[in-house]
Amino acid sequence: MKIGFVGLGAMGGPIAGHLLAAGHTLCVHTRSEASAASTIARGAVWAATPRELASQSDLVFTVLPGPPDVDAVMHGETGLLAGFRRGAGYIDMTTNAPDLVRRLAAELKDAGVAMLDAPVSGGPKGAASKKLAIWVSGEESAFETYKPILQQVGDQVRYLGASGNATIAKLVHNCANYGIQMVLAEVFSLGVKAGVDPLTLFGAVRQGSLGRQNVVDRLADHFLPGDFDTPAFKLELAQKDVMLATALGRDIGVPMRFSSLTIAEMTEARNRGWGQRDSRATMLLQEERAGVDIKVPRKDLQDLLKAEPR
């Protein structure tokens, strides 16, 4: 297939390389031709503008830093939109903004181009090894058409439905990832300053309930089913533990910002009379604030976990 590729950075470069290795004809464009030199040396052809690239391609990929970059590459006299042929496809792998994705999907549909937003997770190492999760949304017929090509660059390709859904999933994933990262930094700094060797502490925490279970899979225990009245560990006991940790932090001079916020949430939940419910009942407070009702049948959760073991 004749494929156009815009963006050859830490993620885009390896992905473009896999497409070349799979036998596709590749036309590339980046901010400077020099940054595309290694890909061109492997057989890709340079396009001076995004418009020129689109005019030569059956399918175009973009892997760019963010929404402004995608918007700029798409529009204007030399943009992709000015060059697309009717019947072509467009796959954006950028971590993008849902409103821009949906706007572009509508514009491209009017131009006879099928758009898929397909953000990836796995980092540069995953891009190089093809160990990438690729979340895809847009018209299902377009997904089925281009799924075999996506499987040439990633090992887990999942369809999420309407345009923008995949982008939302990527934002949820990344925000959770970096939030958890900060909490772990907080509590490990507490443990080390309190006197525990970092490697010893790491080994111990890995053996606990947090370390033994995938942190996302824990959502299936109580939060997603909306079942907080069969407690695995009561909220009042969980709050006691967090309060002891923050007291230790005060004693040895370790700021405990995230843990203190957790205590505030737990206190509000206990003031609702939820002390005997499962400790995850605090998560209901955020559901209320967001104005959503999250409930998934346990059987559906169990079926998914069995079908996709870690």
Residues whose CB is less than 8 angstroms from the CB of residue 42 and which lie 6 or more positions away in sequence, other chains included:
17, 20
Distance CA 278, CA 92 (A): 41
Tokens encoding 295: 């409930």
Distance CA 95, CA 81 (A): 20
DSSP letter, residue 214: -
Please count the CA atoms within 13 angstroms of the CA of 299 that sit on its side-chain side: 0
Q: What are phi and psi of 54, to 5 degrees?
A: -65, -35
Using CB atoms within 10 A of its CB, is residue 171 exposed (0-12), middle (13-18) or buried (19+)? middle
Q: Among all chains, which residue has been given the structure tokens 């080390």?
A: 192
Distance CA 298, CA 227 (A): 10
2, 109, 125, 170: which is the annotated catalytic residue?
Answer: 170
DSSP letter, residue 233: S
Report the candidate in 146, 167, 168 with the shortest Cα–Cα distance to residue 157: 146
What does 147-185 look like in DSSP terms, one character per residue?
A: HHHHTTT-SEEEE--STTHHHHHHHHHHHHHHHHHHHHH
| Type of residue at 121 | S
Is residue 170 part of the annotated active site? The answer reads yes
Tokens encoding 187: 């509590």
Please count the CA atoms within 13 angstroms of the CA of 36 that sit on its side-chain side: 20
Catalytic residues: 170
